[in-house]
Homo-oligomer: A and B are copies of this chain.
Amino acid sequence: MQLNFAKSNGLVPAIVQDHRDGRVLMLGFMNEEAFEKTVSTGRVTFFSRTRNKLWIKGETSGHYLLLKRLEVDCDLDTVLVHAEAVGPGVCHEGYRSCFYRTLEAGDWKVTDKPTYDPAKVFGP
């Protein structure tokens, strides 16, 4: 049973969920090479659509995602990555999860607290 990379131009969405408490941390995209690197290295690896190249999550920040378990959906076109997040946060904006805003009365309100200072990790 092969993943269906053809459906979305060679990419599958990859949902990353904290393996301990189930918090959804981020969504990235994997091409076949990123998927294979994730499995073979145990470090979650995406294909960056903006930079058009492989992206080992954490390669700059040290905030790696360590693979714990991989699930696939019925259509074989989306993967669910259960991972251990190294460091204080997955989001480059300084939060544990990229999902730190909630829809309230028609606006996206910040509903989570920052866990680190991105300027100290990525530079000013």
Binding site for B on A (CB under 8 A): 1, 7, 13, 15, 17, 21-24, 26-27, 39, 49, 69-76, 78, 80, 91-93, 95, 98-103, 107-108, 111
A25 to chain B minimum Cβ distance, whole angstroms, is 10
Chain B residues whose C-beta falls within 8 Å of the C-beta of A73 in the assembled complex: 26-27, 91, 98-99
Which residues of B are found within 8 Å of A26, using beta-carbon distances? 73
Q: How many copies does the complex hold?
A: 2
Q: When chains A and B are docked, how far (Å) is the Cα of A92 from the Cα of B74?
A: 8
Which residues of chain B come closer than 8 Å to A1, judged between CB atoms? Answer: 101, 107-108
When the two chains form their complex, are residues A74 and B102 in contact, meaning their CB atoms are under 8 A apart?
A: no
* Cβ 8 A contact of A101, one of B49, B72, B91: B72
Query: Are A80 and B107 in touch, CB under 8 angstroms?
Result: no
